[in-house]
Amino acid sequence: AYWHGKTGGIYHNRLRKAAYSALLSAEKHTREKGIFAPSVSVLDYDLDGLSEVLYQGNEINAYLHLKGGILFELDYMLQPFNYLDTMSRYPEVYHMPEHEAEGYDSYLRKAFVDHFLPADTTIADFNRAAFEDLSELARSQYHIDDLKRDSNVVRLSAQSLVAGAGGAGPGQVGVKKQYSFIKSQVQVAYTICNTGASVVEAVFSPEINLSFLSCDVQDLRVYRKENRSRAEETGPGLRELPPSQEVYFEDLINRTTIHCQASPACAWWSVPVYTIHAEDGWWVSSYQSSCLLPRWPLRLEPGQCFEVSISLTINRIKNATT
């Protein structure tokens, strides 16, 4: 499952998911009843010389990488299933020009990957990775400002230049990013401040990728919800969604829901991610994840700040919407 080879190997979503499920099941067996308690720890988990922040709970595991301040693993331990077992689009030596035109990713397709996008970026640009990221936050080193083990809260921060629109000089932002882990929920609160002397004007878009076994409509349903209104089904395909507080997925294979809630309400892009690989002499397009991109247009004067929060909540489905 973790080798490419002639049969696709790691590109096969279901092989990776089966391997992860076995590893998570083994982890559950190591947790002694009456001794295991939810906790946050800091260690170099992937041996890259940098510390990672690991939350391990009864219902979810949530792992943070300081490069980008991203959530790089989200395990639903009741299943067990890793919803951040994603795959970025990498160049392969056998790719043809038409495959290259579909775009390659320059960052990991994980959750809470922070972008500042020009206002004229289209969903087609984003889908082809043909967009300009005005900041370096997706590749910046975040720092741990505070870690509260008693309440499972981690506060991160980073600084980045933000390129100006229309050739204007760059601005600068300071981003504070607080993660809170509560049962089966991850809450992320942002405070974005203009710390420079120039106006910062861009669309703030913290990218969230979630990997399911399939994005066929009989396996995955996607809905948006505004206030107390009835949920509207949007489908798992490429979509521009009007402003709403919530977008949620029904994973009908695992019988779980993942609710993505934003405050304040925002417009969303929903983008399925596919990779192309060669397999037994054929080209194969494989579904890897579903990307949600909340979008908040910002215009920050020097010294001005903006606050926004997003939460991910995983639950079992009692009665599916279908």
Say what the pLDDT of residue 166 is.
56
Give the start-end residues of each E strand in the chain. Answer: 39-43, 52-56, 60-65, 70-76, 81-82, 111-117, 143-148, 153-162, 171-182, 185-194, 200-210, 220-225, 232-233, 239-251, 256-279, 282-300, 305-316
Q: Tell me the two tokens of residue 118.
A: 């020009």
Residue 18 has pLDDT above 60, yes or no: yes
The pLDDT tens digits of the residues spanning 136-159 come to 999 999 999 999 999 999 999 999
The pLDDT tens digits of the residues spanning 188-233 come to 999 999 999 999 999 999 999 999 999 999 999 999 998 777 899 9
Rounded to 5°, the CA angle 139-306-157 comes to: 35
Phi, psi dihedrals of residue 251, rounded to the nearest 5°: -90, 95
Say what the pLDDT of residue 254 is.
96
Residue 321 has pLDDT above 60, yes or no: no
> pTM score, two decimals?
0.95
User: End-to-end CA distance of the chain, in Å?
Assistant: 33
Say what the pLDDT of residue 167 is.
59
Residue 181 has pLDDT above 90, yes or no: yes
Instruction: Read off the pLDDT of each residue in 125-133 and give the average, rounded to a whole number.
Output: 96
- In this structure, are residues 165 and 179 in contact, taking their beta carbons and an 8 Å threshold? no
Say what the pLDDT of residue 320 is.
52
Computed over every residue of the chain, the mean pLDDT equals 94
What proportions of the chain, in percent to the nearest 5, are helix, strand and coil? 10, 50, 40
The pLDDT tens digits of the residues spanning 221-279 come to 999 998 777 899 999 999 999 999 999 999 999 999 999 999 999 999 999 999 999 99
- In this structure, are residues 127 and 104 in contact, taking their beta carbons and an 8 Å threshold? no
